[in-house]
Structure 1
Amino acid sequence: MRLTVTLLLLIFSVKQSSPVHPGTGTFLEDSKTNLIFEGSQVTNLTAHQGTTALLSCKIKNNFQNNPVSWIRLRDWHILSTGPSTYTKDERFSVRQATAHDWSLGIQYVNKNDEGVYSCQVSTSKGSISHFYNLKVIVPRAYILGSEEYYAQTGTAISLVCIIEDTLEPPQFVFWYHNNKIISYDTRRTKVSFDSGSRTKKTSTRLLISSALLEDGGNYTCGSANAEKGMVTVYVSDGEMRMHVRNGARLLYLSIPIFFLLLIFDFFCRSFCFKANN
């Protein structure tokens, strides 16, 4: 019964709140209750997709042990009250390191988790909140050049993949050919890697020597939690193209000769017919 009343009061206080915008401040203190949130009114946080985002809410002077709740302002969802969570999403949890620390943890954070969160303390005199603006960075991989790559048999295929928007260089970068991982450092395949300590962009080069017809297809590259880059490679037989080109040239030269032969045959038939008459 007590928990139900607490939740109803919390919902009412949240609905009365106004929209939150980033601002400045030092320490957020409530003169009525002497509660103090450590930090400014709005804390801006950046998390890497796939990692754990930790929203640290430290409260001082909560002598009456007033309930601490986490609210997601996007949909006014009450995620937790005290140590209990009220969401089916098991990625959310309350991590109380000390009696004054009520941090919200979001495991495997993704782009949908972006937005404003509120750490709120409800008291008999009202509620006081601290806001967190969470931004999620999604690494992106792309292959230099156009979406199509053309090569002839016997030549080399060289593809360069760039991975950006990473908080730290990825430990592994993978290349795929038609959704199958490519074995590195084989007789014809070599892969080089640059962590990008100067450019802050990780790059990797795939080099395939003496291209074969079966080397054509879709090539993708990427790392964990990164959007993959893709290019389509077309490999053609150089000798076949030469034969086609030579055949077209012979056909082009044969057309006027054919017409000359028709004209010669026409005149020949005409003169021969008159001579016989």
Structure 2
Amino acid sequence: MILVTGATGQLGNLIVNNLIKRGTPANQIVAAVRSPEKAQALADQGVVVRKADYSDPASLDAAFDGVKRVMLVSSSEVGQRFPQHKNVIHAAQQAGVELLAYTSIMRAQESPLALAEEHIQTEKALIASGMPFVLLRNGWYSENYTGSIGMALEHGAVLGSAGEGKYATATRQDYAEAAAVVITADNQAGKIYELAGDQAFTLAEYAAAISEVTGKTVVYQDLPAEEYTNILVGTGLPEGFAGILADSDVGASKGALYSDSKDLSTLIGRPTTPIVDSIKAAL
């Protein structure tokens, strides 16, 4: 059985559906979720739904019963991720899991991003565990930007602090396909995949792509990190999270979110989704 954590989340849900699409029987997939009532659509497909809370070790131990492979989708609770991930790793050890795949962050061990810290801690914990594991170091999701395309069109500007830094993004679907391939493949233990989109872009190029697709003028406005943080807070984001987003842009300006690796397109057997296609999908 293959267990996917966070199976009602945006990435986890796509991974489950890609496993089914690739031929894994639904009754051999465990959707580990905090709120089983939110997983009815998966249950209707025959997926085994089990309650599993990252912060509740007892629930994890029960959910992992009979599981041989685990897809650990990183927690969305920044600041709580590492202790939550440690609980999952321990539960996997207790269950005698034969492979754990973890969604980390691009070039984790050298990344200057504040977001990378808990990924680095988790990778070290996996090494220390002695358990067979594989790392899926995901780059930025294209949806991180296309999700706010309406605001860019309304104001005629994309805001950020990335300068000329390039983003090698891909869609969640691209990353989910890769995860489904890896967790079902043989001889994956010890492998590290740097997952990046084939076509990188600067935020100025992203703004230009929006203009090209919509016919409306959209420009990129580069801001000091503090000013960008304040603007994000003004839109309703918590100050801590706004600061993390601005820090990520600054990191991107130093190359932290760019990679020329072709691991992602190789795994999924096709080119990654171009940002122009993601813009069209968002519109």
What range is the shorter-chain TM-score in? under 0.3
TM-score by length of 1: 0.24
> Which of the two has greater strand per residue?
1
> Which of the two has greater helix per residue?
2
